[in-house]
A and B are shown apart, each in its own frame.
Chain A
Amino acid sequence: MITYIASFLILSGVFFALIAALGIVRMPDIYCRIHAATKAGALGVGLILLALCLCSPTPRVCIQSVLILIFSYLTAPIAAHMIGRVALLRNLPQWNPKSDSKKISK
């Protein structure tokens, strides 16, 4: 049973990492890209770490993977906040859906 759960967690983690990579390429401006990279990327790594915690043979591996998971979930919003704050302070262009967005996106 644990085998099936671990396989599902690994595959879904890889799926979310792929979604994050696609989002960072396809999103129109930097604020949307921070969305994709932070949330989907952290979720992908977190699911793979959870799979490792489920099937770890020793308690040390389980504890360490949970610690990495907590650390990455604590630091991802802080890094995203710093990047978004600097982008807003430096007046990076924002995506306006009504106007033509092709100029910013490519």
Chain B
Amino acid sequence: MFSNILDLPTWLIPTAQVLLGLAAAITCYRIWRGPSVMDRIVALDLFASITMAQFVLLVFSSGFTSYLDVASAIAIISFIATIAFARYLEKTECSL
């Protein structure tokens, strides 16, 4: 447990996780409401970043460093997904 070794305040990690969950909920509003497809893609990119931050905080609270691998996989996949969506919407004739 990193937080026990480092003597971080016990309220710090749960508070950060709750606030990041709040940020993810606010982002979900834009995914649901977004007027165009590009708005939804931007919001999904931010949602992936917030999920990455949640996994990094999970490394702090649980002590398993394997969660960092999950964070790196999410970083790679979100980048490739954003590029693929952008290239696809550039070529097709569907309305945004």
Contact = CB atoms under 8 A, between A and B. Distances in A.
A17 B65 contact: no
Nearest to B72: A68
B92 to A, nearest CB: 10
B24 A49 contact: no
Nearest to B90: A86
Interface in A1-36: 2-3, 6-7, 10-11, 13-14, 17-18, 20-22, 24-25, 30, 33-34
Interface residues of A, number: 51
Task: Tell me the dominant secondary structure on chain B's binding face.
Answer: helix
A87 B49 contact: no
B53 A48 contact: yes
Interface in B18-58: 19-20, 22-24, 26-27, 29-30, 35-36, 38-39, 41-43, 45-46, 49-50, 52-53, 56-57
A83 B56 contact: no
Interface in A32-66: 33-34, 37-38, 41-42, 44-45, 48-49, 52, 55-58, 60-61, 64-65
Interface of B: 2, 5-9, 12-13, 16, 19-20, 22-24, 26-27, 29-30, 35-36, 38-39, 41-43, 45-46, 49-50, 52-53, 56-57, 59-60, 65, 68-69, 71-72, 75-76, 79, 82-83, 86-87, 89-90, 96
14 contacts: A2-B6, A7-B12, A10-B13, A10-B60, A14-B19, A17-B19, A22-B26, A25-B30, A30-B38, A57-B2, A65-B68, A67-B72, A71-B76, A87-B38
